[in-house]
Amino acid sequence: MKSVLRLMSFALLPLAAHSAFATEKLPSSGLGQSWPNAPDVSASPDYHVYVFERGGLRYVQVNDVSGTVRAAVVSTGSDVIGLPIGVDASRLATPSEAGTVVADAAGVTVYADQAVKLVVSPQADGTARLQATTGDCTNPRECSWGLQ
């Protein structure tokens, strides 16, 4: 019985963490910094992801393990736009920005919430291509590239 209860508590832990994150006040400053004073919410041990909120907009920044800012996006809830921040900002693909290069599907998901998902595809030359998708990205069937 104890093992069943322990298993159930581990199964519910992500839900509790998600609920706490959703109601937690996100930082409103630090975007662009290598080590901002914000929680690391990365889904990958190879990257650091920081989320900021200001004026009803959500900003998501991706850093590598050494703290180098790779790229950042702003999410309006229905759209995601790349910001001119980070060494790989020019290699960030978003649904609303024509002319961006779509990252390889073989990348690593570093962040996903109910409005945006970020995937990083490391390149042989040390750069990274990033892809941002929109929709309910906690549900893979609802998260899409968004181009018509």
DSSP label at 25? P
Most distant CA atoms of the chain, gap in Å: 57
Ramachandran region of residue 67, left (φ > 0), alpha (ψ -120 to 50) or beta?
left
pTM for the full model? 0.75
Phi, psi at residue 11, to the nearest 5°?
A: -70, -35
Tens digit of each residue's pLDDT (9 = 90 or more) over 8-25: 433 333 333 333 345 468
Q: Show me where the domains of the chain are located.
A: 30-134
> How far, in Å, CA of 107 to CA of 103, rounded?
7
Tens digit of each residue's pLDDT (9 = 90 or more) over 123-138: 999 999 999 988 766 6
